[in-house]
Structure 1
């Protein structure tokens, strides 16, 4: 089945809603996590995308960050992040996006994301390549981490400050090994990897909806996409994973290997410290 047109149309509508609200939202802190916020735009976009899926693919499951779960007992599950980078969006930063991905059983098969402020829509289907505004995108086959910019998403953990301090020790090692570290903590960074502007994007603490859409897009652009420690990401029984913590390490193969060496050394130090 061809999902390209559905993705483009739905992400374009999501972009317009985001642009209509941009600069005039009232953010609210989510219960239990002071680092996460939600706005009226998140709710409106999530509702719109869910309704479009129900209309176009009425037998498919839905997992939406804000609207919850629709279980149709289907092998197909749409995973929605209405606004990725809501903290940025709420502060009128343009570094945010709208994400929509599709799993068949436990594998991403289609997905994409929009960067409304940049008027860009990225789409991909398994085996068909990755596109930005219908133009093919593919990463450069970079070989040396030292010449690459790397994006790293990091958030503070006030409930466990030592966890944040240890993660910043790893961040320091990555900074020393590459040309520089960038951080929007949003899908904007994934877009920069897809275009070959950045050489990698890493995040230790995220959710399923932060991964599905960008994984299929980045893999189709030539990126190796694993969990933070280099293992395949487990999407089995996706409707049960709304509260589960995910992570990712996304980079062209050569750079991915170099990043994993740094992470492995840091992990050993943490284990024996």
Structure 2
């Protein structure tokens, strides 16, 4: 099935809604967690995407970060992040995006994301390549050295376990020393930069299912390897049951992915011995 037109139209509508709200929103934190922010734009865009899916694919499941779950007992599940990088969006930073991905059983098969502030829409379907505004895009050459690459690393403070944050920063230091520079929008903007070959990789240890599905299909179709943080396949089985589960990812062209995994593996072994 061809999902290209649906993704393009829905993400274009979401982008316009986000631009209409940009700089004019109020925000609140979820459950008192200052790192998790929601605005009225998140709610409105999520509802719009859900309605479009119900209208176009009425038998498909839906998992939306803000509005919840629609269970049609289908092998197909749409996974929505209305605004990824809401903290940025709420502060009028342009480094945010809208994400929409599709799982068939446990495999991402189609997806897209938009960068509204940059008027860019990215789409991909399994086996058909990755596109930005309908132009083919690719990750960096796989023989690129990590030392000459920009690497994006999303990190959040763990207020309930500050030592976890301190340990993660030790690993981050090892990656910083091995690459040209670290970038951090903690949003799908960083994934877009990898898809276009601007950045060499993007890593995150603490995210959710809706942060992964759309960008995984884009990055893989652009030539990247996309795994969990420690190099293992991501488990999307029973996606409607994974709303509260913590996910992670490591995405990069094959050679850079191997280099990043070597750093992570070496650090993990030394950290365990400490």
Common fold, TM-score beyond 0.5?
yes
**CA deviation after TM superposition for structure 1 residue 266, in Å:** 1.2
Q: How does 1:47-66 map to 2 (within 5 A)?
A: 47-66=47-66
Give the CA deviation at 1:173: 0.4
State the superposition RMSD in angstroms: 0.6
CA offset at residue 141 of structure 1? Answer: 1.4
For the residues of structure 2 that align with 1:234 and 1:157, how far apart are their CA atoms? 24
Within 5 Å, give how 1:92-241 maps onto structure 2: 92-143=92-143, 144-241=145-242
Matched residue pairs, number? 273
CA–CA distance in structure 2, aligned partners of residues 269 and 61 of structure 1: 43
CA drift at 1:265: 1.1
Conserved? CA contact 1:215–1:225, under 8 Å: yes
Is 2:256 the counterpart of 1:266?
A: no
**Distance across 2 between alignment mates of 1:61 and 1:10:** 17
Q: CA deviation at 1:271?
A: 1.4
Deviation per CA, 1:197-223, whole angstroms, max 9, x where unpaired? 000000000000000000000000000
Do the aligned residues in 1 keep the contact of 2:151 with 2:201 (CA within 8 Å)?
yes
Q: Cα distance, 1:32 vs. partner?
A: 4.9
8 Å CA contact 2:29–2:36 kept in 1: the answer is: yes
| Conserved? CA contact 1:151–1:202, under 8 Å | yes
TM-score (norm 2): 0.99
Task: Give the corresponding residue for 2:23.
Answer: 23
Distance across 2 between alignment mates of 1:90 and 1:183: 17
- Which runs of 5 or more residues in structure 1 are unaligned? none
Runs of at least 4 residues off by over 6 Å: none
C-alpha distance in 1, partners of 2:168/2:252?
Answer: 19
Q: What CA distance in whole angstroms lies between the structure 2 residues aligned with 1:70 and 1:269? A: 44
Distance in 1 separating the partners of 2:262 and 2:150: 17
* Aligned mates of 2:246, 2:173 — CA distance in 1: 23
Which deviations, in whole Å up to 9, do the C-alpha atoms of 1:201-255 show, x marking residues without a partner?
0000000000000000000000000000000000000000000000000000000
8 Å contact from structure 1 (residues 30, 36) kept in 2: yes
Q: Residues of 2 paired with 1:142 and 1:79: CA distance?
A: 29
SS in 2 for 1:36: strand
Corresponding residue for 1:11?
11
Check conservation: 2:225, 2:253, Cα contact below 8 A.
yes
Query: Matches of 1:197 and 1:203 in 2, distance apart?
Result: 18
Cα distance in structure 2, aligned partners of 1:266 and 1:162: 16
Unaligned runs of 5+ in 2: none
Whole-angstrom distance in 2 between the partners of 1:129 and 1:167? 34
Deviation sequence 1:48-89 (CA, Å, 0-9, x none): 000000000000000000000000000000000000000000
1:141-172 Cα distance to aligned partner (Å, 9 max, x none): 14310000000000011111100000000000
